[in-house]
Chain A
Amino acid sequence: MSSSPPSEAGERPPGWLDGYPAEASRGDLFRDATEPVAARWKAVVASLAAKAEGDPSTLQDAAARHAADLGVTFRVTGDEDERAWPLNVMPLIISADEWAKVERGLVQRATLMEQLAADIYGPQRLVREGHLPAGVIAGSPFFARKMMAMGPRQGRFIHVYSADLARGPKGQWRILNDRVRIASGVGYALENRLAMGRTTDNLMVETRVRRLADFFAHMREGMAAACNRDHPRVALLTPGRFNQTYAEQAHLARYLGFPLVEGRDLSVLDQRLYVGTIAGPKRVDAVWRWINTNSLDPLTFDAKSQIGVANLYDAWDAGGVEMVNWPGAEVLESPAFAAFMPRLCRVLLGEEPLLPNIATWWCGQAAESSAVAARLDELTVLPAFGQRVEGLPSRRAVEGRSLSDRQRTALLEALWRRPMDYCGQEIVHLSTTPAVIDGEIVPRPFTVRAFVARTADGSWTVMPGGFARLSSSNGLPTTLMGAGDLSADVWIVDDRPMEAHLRSMLYEEPPVSRGGGILASQAADNLFWFGRYNERAEMTVRIVRTILDSSVEIDGSLSAQGNVLQGLIGMLVARGAITPKMSGQPAAAICAAALSDAAEPGSAAALLHRRQEVGLSLRERFARDFWRIVSRPMPMVDMHRPQSMLSTVRWLTEHFSALAGLVSENMVRSAAWRFLEIGKRLERAQALCRTVNWLVRDGDDSEVLGALLDLCDSQIIYGSRYLTQPMINPVRDLVLLDPDNPRALVFQVAEIVAHLEALPSVSDDNLPEPPLRAARALFGELQAAAAQDMTSERLADIEARLLELSDAISLRYFLQFDRDEAEKRTRLL
């Protein structure tokens, strides 16, 4: 590797940090660094420069590529598509000494959070004794009265605490906000570290960067230790794949070995929580929720919630499930709370805050309200409880001095009428840190989200690092990642040498897998449909390919050819790939529409889109290579250039082959794999029945039979077996009944039987379950059949029974309350 050893600054190309334009007055991580750490900065920059061969942007591209490879994405609220992850290649470098102070402050804060939650949902001494106004608690939309006097079994309200930190001009660290609801960013911190590891090779080890792996291991052990079973199952509860940080949740679940579940996967029975799996319900001991309290249980909180679990409350009440964090804990996140933190720290812990929070005044008190109104020019004003309020344009803090006279009058009037809705805060000045922007190293204001988790013995551990955000303006970040923001890794550098090599920094201790073995019914359902949509799209492409192959003239133009073409176009209409009106159009237009008209449900584009939708929720189950191929956009289709259309078809054919190859060679033979396969086999079997019935109506037109062989990839074997041109019964035998032909109907049914036999049974009587019985009956019949038996009536009957088999499988293995959607999908067949 070409990276330079540390402290040999003489080798670095000149100029990278020499002309670094940070203002001395506002504070900068590099400018302020004392000698040993400054040397690390220089060494890191030198090494990056060497790697970049003088052009920092090449390095930036590499970092972006590695982040993309990891599948890191995010969604901006309101966007339909996920965005690429903006990772800056320049890490924040912080000395272990400076960080140690931050760590102590965070542990103190987490301890305080725990005691506050315990008091608010317990004796409420703080309110009674006048240390905390009732309105500061009641004003939070997350104050959960129903959780009153019902604490967690082991008395741990908070398992994971995080905070946004700002570094001021003089290097002082401060808490911008407390976060106990959802630890968003913790997965991004992990992903940034992994991507940086790939981008910078050995640099982290040389720089003695503290590892993150221990933090995650301790956090996992902490959650497990709180459960009352020996081998507990901890599930990560997600709001679903349309959530802004779904990618982060999926990645985190995979890394920690937690099943990723949605509310509809879970149910409460006899005060315990279960996840519906293909092997029946399985107990869940702890839930790491990425859902607001108010959406957690429609029977207890918001009755309209679609993402929660009905009567989860019963399990909490009986101590049947551990929560990370306890419902209602987010009451502590209100900006109004921050106003009381210094005092509460003294009252509850008898200590001064080691890490102060940003100075805050809650206007629900007369004196504070007047002070904020009087000092409006020096302060920011923000909603006290995170909700929209009168007189402020949004939920974010607004600097008083930025208001127009009219806005100012309106705000003051609103503040006077409902003072309890507002907080005043001091204006924060952020330190800068070096960042690579457009090929140059420039200072950018930053904040760091830090994470604290409980370990198995209940004590706190702080992630050595965090998730840094670099903003383009001086403003504080208001969302996790906004448009235009950058993220960066945070390196805490030690003087002690690192014992482990970089490559094993995160993986030397494999995650203890405590639930990866189960397959949730919902996931099985999605796998099944992923397999079906993939196969369905492939079939559309095969038909288009056959049309193109049979009609492209030597001179490259297209011409219609009687029966074959009419038959194939008819199939496209029947599959919903093109509209009936299209069928009179030239072949080129038909092919282009069947490939790319997303408005038609059976077109390749529409089916690939549906596959992608279902696939999003399976992302953590698929290998990265697989996901990368799935996500690759389809090439453009140009109907005026038949050759380009042919190459699109070729591209798609290779796309399907690549996926099939990965599934066949790389996917573990788990139940997940079996559902993917069952979906594919069922789809292919049904398509075969239809195709044969559709094309073989007129008896034995050899050209039509040839096209059928083409669609079934069976021309070569036919040619080697028979010397004649295609004839009806030999073709029927080959594509329907030959058990050695992997494209034949009987082969698909045999595979389905084998998969169903291998799936777990829920009953103790050892009798085959209904789907297996149905599949075996069909298989036996096909084994005994002769080619001339396969009449169109027979095929129609088999197709109907395949549909019944599909229903039987979904009834047995999938969640039943989604029948509406399942039926909708069935009608598309």
Chain B
Amino acid sequence: MRYSVSHITTLDYAAPVSLAQFNVRLRPAAWPGQAVSDFALSVDPQPAQIVDSDGGYYINESRFTLRQPIRHLQIESRFTVDKESLPFFVTGAPGPDLAEIRETAMKLPDLSPLGPASYIYASPIAALERDIALWASGFLTETMPVMEAGRVLMETIHQQFAYDTKATATDTPPIQAFNNRHGVCQDFSHIMIIAARAHGIPAAYVSGYLRTIPPAGQARLVGADAMHAWVNLWCGEDLGWVGFDPTNALLADTDHIFVGMGRDYGDVAPLDGTFRGGAQQSMHFSVDVAPLD
């Protein structure tokens, strides 16, 4: 599949703010089965310089500063992406059991952003939550193969939780969404990460996109009109990272466009920053993922 992706974010301030500094995390990092071309990021008003760096975890980060006071800012990212289907050796494999996953993850001498070590521990947003761990113990066992564990977890979330865009905000703690059994992709992903880590499975938060218009005769995927989030589980050295989408109960495949992954939302937030001034900020965005063929 080939897609054209565009993502426009506009920020408006009730009064001018000065020294606005932002991190934008929208340029997709390299990912198996996915090839990105003609990525373009434009910012208006244009900053003197946009500095690209790696964002610590597996994510690209662009940082810029606007010294002059602003009341309005628009950030636009566009790219074309080719997606290949997940190979059968991933979709058809059971993977090692959870006990083995945990032990291999701890032994691997790999501290890189793609190594499992950084994703096995609690993180600032996906903190230790006893209730979520206990809940997941109801259907996860030590001897379960990791792919099955991932599927069970994702399907259980899909069944038990209501998708509700009004129920939570970006900063709602995952435990609150868990207790009320509703939320959006971000909440579901965090809940799944906390549950997986509680059982020793390295789990990462993935930021990305879904195709907006479904193929003829199929239902539109949930979460396609904004950035989407799902969960990467580390499924052993052979399978590596496999994407599970608890919002749609699907493996991340040709409809899922990978942007980056981190320990939780905080590591891969599409936009964050600081400014001086007490003005109210309002944000609007539009996302379009259109198939090209």
Q: Which residue of B lies closest to A146 (CB)?
A: B56
With A and B bound together, what is the CA distance between A40 and B201 in angstroms? Answer: 60
Asked if A134 contacts B115 (CB within 8 A), the reply is: yes
Give the residues from 95 to 129 in chain B that come closer than 8 angstroms, CB to CB, to chain A. Answer: 102-103, 105-111, 113, 115, 117-118, 120-122, 124, 128
**Chain A count of residues within 8 A CB distance of the other chain:** 41
Asked if B121 contacts A138 (CB within 8 A), the reply is: yes
Asked if A138 contacts B111 (CB within 8 A), the reply is: yes
How close is B279's CB to chain A, nearest CB, in angstroms? 10
Residues of chain B contacted by A139 (CB below 8 angstroms): 117, 121
Asked if A128 contacts B274 (CB within 8 A), the reply is: no
How close is A318's CB to chain B, nearest CB, in angstroms? 12
Q: Which residue of A lies closest to B272 (CB)?
A: A303
B291: Cβ under 8 A from any A Cβ:
no
Checking A299, A388, A420 against B106 with a beta-carbon cut-off of 8 angstroms, the contacting residue is: A420
Asked if A299 contacts B128 (CB within 8 A), the reply is: no
Asked if B63 contacts A138 (CB within 8 A), the reply is: no
Residues of chain B contacted by A146 (CB below 8 angstroms): 55-56
How close is B106's CB to chain A, nearest CB, in angstroms? 5
Given contacts A299-B23, A311-B21, contact A420 B121 (CB under 8 A): yes
Given contacts A299-B21, A385-B121, contact A311 B111 (CB under 8 A): no
B133: Cβ under 8 A from any A Cβ:
yes
A816: Cβ under 8 A from any B Cβ:
yes
With A and B bound together, what is the CA distance between A139 and B269 in angstroms? Answer: 22
Asked if B57 contacts A134 (CB within 8 A), the reply is: no
Q: Which residue of B lies closest to A413 (CB)?
A: B137
A559: Cβ under 8 A from any B Cβ:
no
With A and B bound together, what is the CA distance between A819 and B122 in angstroms? Answer: 38
Asked if B266 contacts A137 (CB within 8 A), the reply is: no
How close is B248's CB to chain A, nearest CB, in angstroms? 28
B215: Cβ under 8 A from any A Cβ:
no
How close is A394's CB to chain B, nearest CB, in angstroms? 13
Asked if A303 contacts B269 (CB within 8 A), the reply is: yes
Asked if B278 contacts A820 (CB within 8 A), the reply is: yes
A73: Cβ under 8 A from any B Cβ:
no
Asked if B110 contacts A417 (CB within 8 A), the reply is: no
Q: Which residue of B lies closest to A147 (CB)?
A: B56
A69: Cβ under 8 A from any B Cβ:
no
B235: Cβ under 8 A from any A Cβ:
no
Residues of chain B contacted by A365 (CB below 8 angstroms): 106
Asked if B106 contacts A364 (CB within 8 A), the reply is: yes
- Could you count the A-B residue pairs with CB atoms below 8 Å apart for me: how many are there? 94
Asked if B122 contacts A138 (CB within 8 A), the reply is: no
Asked if A133 contacts B65 (CB within 8 A), the reply is: no
Residues of chain B contacted by A143 (CB below 8 angstroms): 118
Given contacts A302-B266, A417-B198, contact A135 B120 (CB under 8 A): yes
Asked if A133 contacts B106 (CB within 8 A), the reply is: yes
Give the residues from 440 to 493 in chain A that come closer than 8 angstroms, CB to CB, to chain B. Answer: none
Asked if B117 contacts A310 (CB within 8 A), the reply is: no
Given contacts A303-B269, A303-B272, A817-B276, contact A387 B109 (CB under 8 A): no
B243: Cβ under 8 A from any A Cβ:
no
With A and B bound together, what is the CA distance between A518 and B277 in angstroms? Answer: 25
Checking A127, A144, A385, A420 against B111 with a beta-carbon cut-off of 8 angstroms, the contacting residue is: A127
| 0/1 string, A363-396, CB within 8 A of B gives 1 | 0111000000000000000000101111000000
B220: Cβ under 8 A from any A Cβ:
no
With A and B bound together, what is the CA distance between A390 and B121 in angstroms? Answer: 12
Asked if A133 contacts B107 (CB within 8 A), the reply is: yes
With A and B bound together, what is the CA distance between A145 and B266 in angstroms? Answer: 14
B130: Cβ under 8 A from any A Cβ:
yes
Interface size class of B (residues with CB under 8 A): 35 or more
Q: Which residue of B lies closest to A298 (CB)?
A: B274
Q: Which residue of A lies closest to B267 (CB)?
A: A145
Q: Which one of B111, B200, B273 has the greatest number of beta carbons of chain A within 10 Å?
A: B111
Asked if B21 contacts A134 (CB within 8 A), the reply is: no
Residues of chain B contacted by A311 (CB below 8 angstroms): 21, 63, 65
With A and B bound together, what is the CA distance between A366 and B103 in angstroms? Answer: 8
Residues of chain A contacted by B199 (CB below 8 angstroms): 417
Residues of chain A contacted by B124 (CB below 8 angstroms): 141, 302
Asked if B21 contacts A389 (CB within 8 A), the reply is: no
Checking B110, B130, B269 against A390 with a beta-carbon cut-off of 8 angstroms, the contacting residue is: B130
How close is A674's CB to chain B, nearest CB, in angstroms? 26
Residues of chain A contacted by B130 (CB below 8 angstroms): 390
Q: Which residue of A lies closest to B20 (CB)?
A: A310
Residues of chain B contacted by A124 (CB below 8 angstroms): 111
Q: Which one of B102, B197, B274, B277 has the greatest number of beta carbons of chain A within 10 Å?
A: B274
A418: Cβ under 8 A from any B Cβ:
yes
With A and B bound together, what is the CA distance between A298 and B275 in angstroms? Answer: 11
Given contacts A138-B117, A145-B56, A311-B21, contact A299 B273 (CB under 8 A): yes
How close is B192's CB to chain A, nearest CB, in angstroms? 17
Residues of chain B contacted by A303 (CB below 8 angstroms): 266, 269, 272-274
How close is A224's CB to chain B, nearest CB, in angstroms? 30
With A and B bound together, what is the CA distance between A128 and B274 in angstroms? Answer: 37
A760: Cβ under 8 A from any B Cβ:
no
With A and B bound together, what is the CA distance between A192 and B92 in angstroms? Answer: 68
How close is A292's CB to chain B, nearest CB, in angstroms? 12
A130: Cβ under 8 A from any B Cβ:
yes
Given contacts A299-B23, A388-B128, A418-B198, contact A134 B266 (CB under 8 A): no
Q: Which residue of B lies closest to A130 (CB)?
A: B109
How close is A122's CB to chain B, nearest CB, in angstroms? 12
Give the residues from 383 to 426 in chain A that come closer than 8 angstroms, CB to CB, to chain B. Answer: 385, 387-390, 417-421
With A and B bound together, what is the CA distance between A311 and B55 in angstroms? Answer: 13
How close is A136's CB to chain B, nearest CB, in angstroms? 9
Given contacts A311-B65, A420-B106, contact A816 B276 (CB under 8 A): yes
Give the residues from 303 to 344 in chain A that come closer than 8 angstroms, CB to CB, to chain B. Answer: 303, 310-311
Asked if A390 contacts B63 (CB within 8 A), the reply is: no
| 0/1 string, B36-71, CB within 8 A of A gives 1 | 000000000000000000011100000101000000
How close is A369's CB to chain B, nearest CB, in angstroms? 10
With A and B bound together, what is the CA distance between A144 and B56 in angstroms? Answer: 8
| 0/1 string, A558-594, CB within 8 A of B gives 1 | 0000000000000000000000000000000000000
Give the residues from 19 to 40 in chain B that come closer than 8 angstroms, CB to CB, to chain A. Answer: 19, 21, 23
With A and B bound together, what is the CA distance between A267 and B19 in angstroms? Answer: 10
Residues of chain A contacted by B109 (CB below 8 angstroms): 127-130, 133-134
Q: Which residue of B lies closest to A267 (CB)?
A: B19
Q: Which one of A267, A364, A365 has the greatest number of beta carbons of chain B within 10 Å?
A: A364
How close is B152's CB to chain A, nearest CB, in angstroms? 17
Residues of chain A contacted by B266 (CB below 8 angstroms): 302-303
Residues of chain A contacted by B200 (CB below 8 angstroms): 417-418, 420
With A and B bound together, what is the CA distance between A564 and B278 in angstroms? Answer: 44
Q: Which residue of A lies closest to B119 (CB)?
A: A138
With A and B bound together, what is the CA distance between A419 and B198 in angstroms? Answer: 11
Q: Which one of B109, B118, B278 has the greatest number of beta carbons of chain A within 10 Å?
A: B109
With A and B bound together, what is the CA distance between A299 and B130 in angstroms? Answer: 31
Residues of chain A contacted by B276 (CB below 8 angstroms): 816-817
How close is B16's CB to chain A, nearest CB, in angstroms? 12
Q: Which residue of B lies closest to A385 (CB)?
A: B121
Residues of chain B contacted by A128 (CB below 8 angstroms): 109
With A and B bound together, what is the CA distance between A128 and B117 in angstroms? Answer: 13
Q: Which residue of A lies closest to B61 (CB)?
A: A146
Return the 3 tightest CB-CB contacts between A and B, nearest first. Answer: A145-B56, A817-B276, A134-B117
B interface residue numbers (CB < 8 A to A): 19, 21, 23, 55-57, 63, 65, 102-103, 105-111, 113, 115, 117-118, 120-122, 124, 128, 130, 133, 197-200, 266, 269, 272-274, 276-278
Of the A-B pairs whose beta carbons lie under 8 Å apart in the complex, a sample of 19, sorted by A's number, is: A129-B109, A134-B109, A134-B111, A138-B115, A138-B121, A144-B56, A145-B57, A146-B56, A299-B63, A299-B273, A302-B266, A303-B274, A310-B19, A311-B21, A389-B128, A390-B130, A418-B197, A420-B106, A819-B277
